[in-house]
């Protein structure tokens, strides 16, 4: 491939998959569209879960709780106060961002992977238990049902809305990582003491990253609630966070495409074996084991290993 072809490829390599996603509803396959909406939701969750980990080295084990907070807030205001669905979804995003600010203030004062991991897990469990125990408000383990839908029974508008949220979210994540603020966050993650010695307010930047990460989890939770019409406390379980983490590791945590590729691949595999629900953990575990042993950089790192193998064989 010459330099001109290489330049054209780099500029237009996304055209084919984008056109495919845009034209898929014409096939009339509601099952495929439903599966892709799930992939869109979890791709955003995986990407924004990876954001504080990639920049600051923070692993947020309470991440699923913000996914659930967005869903429950949006559903409750729509059911109890007859708020329009669009406003309820925006409200879920903003309310989760507000909770994320306080959460960010807490985590930003901690140093050390284990302290952040344990604190985030405890925080997530507290939120999950509050939702379970507040039976008069959230109906406890029964969950919420009868949540107003965004559109009619046709799945096509949901698909395009999910695609739009997916694109906007991923572009936001990409722009943040490549912005001046993102570069500062990378510097803090590499050496916080050095960053502070240069006059950087590390507390402010860490809080910003954590708030951004949690708010987009709330946004996708709100969308999910009004897409499915029913939610349960299971969506706040830390196993959801664990699944998202596996998606990230399998796809590759050092790339913007890694979480997306990992999510689409593993959800497709899980769906393939859904006739035996017990197979899902086996599929995730096997994929994680293979990737960690053979491709430590994830699936996105495979071309690099192939290139090294070719050079070594010459």
Q: Does residue 310 sit within a domain?
A: yes
pLDDT in tens, 114-131: 899 999 999 999 999 999
Give the total number of structural domains in the chain: 2
Question: Which of 218, 236, 254 lies at the terminal end of a domain, its last residue?
Answer: 236
The answer to whether residues 166 and 300 belong to one domain is no
177 shares a domain with 103 = yes
Mean pLDDT of the chain, nearest integer: 89
Task: State whether 77 and 207 are in the same domain.
Answer: yes
Whether 188 and 250 map to the same domain: the answer is no
Residue that finishes a domain, picked among 236, 260, 277: 236
Six-digit token string for 295 = 């491709």
Asked if residue 257 and residue 181 are part of one domain, the reply reads no
Q: With a cut of 90, say whether residue 306 has pLDDT above it.
A: no
User: What is d(CA 165, CA 79) in angstroms, rounded to the nearest whole number?
Assistant: 23
Number of neighbours of residue 225 by Cβ within 10 angstroms: 30
Q: CA 280 to CA 271: how far, in whole Å?
A: 8
166: tokens are: 């997916």
In percent, how much of the chain has pLDDT > 90?
70
Same domain, 267 and 164: no
Q: Are residues 84 and 204 in the same domain?
A: yes
pTM of this structure: 0.91
Final residue in a domain of this structure, among 207, 236, 265: 236
Q: Are the C-beta atoms of 172 and 241 separated by less than 8 Å?
A: no
Distances in Å between the alpha carbon of 102 and those of 40, 107, 214, 216, 281? 27, 9, 11, 16, 33
Do 164 and 303 belong to one domain? no
In a domain, 4, yes or no: no
Examine the domain organization and report whether 301 and 176 are in the same domain: no
Please indicate, yes or no, if residue 289 is contained in any of the structural domains.
yes
70 to 92, 152, 158, 277, 280: CA distances (angstroms): 4, 22, 18, 27, 26
pLDDT band (50, 70, 90) for residue 284: confident
Give the mean pLDDT of 140-157: 91
Domain encompassing residue 250: 241-314
Residue with tokens 């395009």: 160
308 in the same domain as 160: no
108 with 131, same domain: the answer is yes
């Amino acid at each position: 491939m010459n330099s001109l072809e290489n330049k054209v490829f780099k500029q237009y390599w996304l055209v084919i998959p984008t056109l495919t996603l845009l034209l898929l509803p014409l096939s009339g396959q509601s099952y495929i569209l439903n599966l892709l909406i799930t992939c869109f939701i979890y791709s955003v969750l995986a990407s924004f879960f990876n954001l504080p980990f990639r920049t600051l080295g923070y692993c947020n084990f309470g991440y699923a709780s913000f996914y659930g907070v967005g869903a429950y807030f949006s559903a409750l205001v729509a059911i109890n106060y007859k708020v329009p669905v669009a406003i309820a979804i925006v409200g879920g995003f903003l309310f989760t961002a507000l909770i994320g600010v306080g959460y960010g203030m807490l985590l930003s004062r901690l140093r050390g992977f284990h302290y952040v991991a344990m604190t985030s897990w405890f925080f997530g469990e507290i939120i999950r238990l509050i939702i379970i125990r507040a039976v008069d408000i959230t109906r406890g383990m029964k969950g919420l049902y009868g949540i107003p839908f965004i559109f009619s029974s046709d799945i096509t508008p949901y698909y395009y809305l999910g695609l739009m949220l997916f694109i906007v979210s991923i572009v936001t994540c990409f722009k943040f990582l490549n912005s001046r603020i993102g570069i500062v966050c990378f510097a803090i993650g590499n050496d916080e003491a050095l960053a502070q010695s240069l006059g950087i307010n590390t507390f402010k930047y860490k809080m910003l990253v954590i708030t951004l990460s949690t708010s987009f989890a709330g946004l996708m939770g709100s969308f999910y609630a009004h897409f499915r019409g029913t939610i349960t406390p299971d969506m706040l379980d830390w196993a959801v966070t664990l699944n998202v983490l596996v998606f990230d590791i399998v796809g590759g945590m050092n790339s913007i495409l890694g979480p997306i590729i990992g999510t689409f691949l593993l959800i497709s595999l899980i769906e393939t074996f859904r006739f035996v629900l017990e197979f899902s953990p086996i599929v995730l575990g096997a994929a994680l084991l293979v990737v960690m042993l053979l491709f430590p950089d994830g699936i996105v790192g495979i071309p690099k290993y192939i290139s090294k193998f070719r050079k070594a064989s010459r």
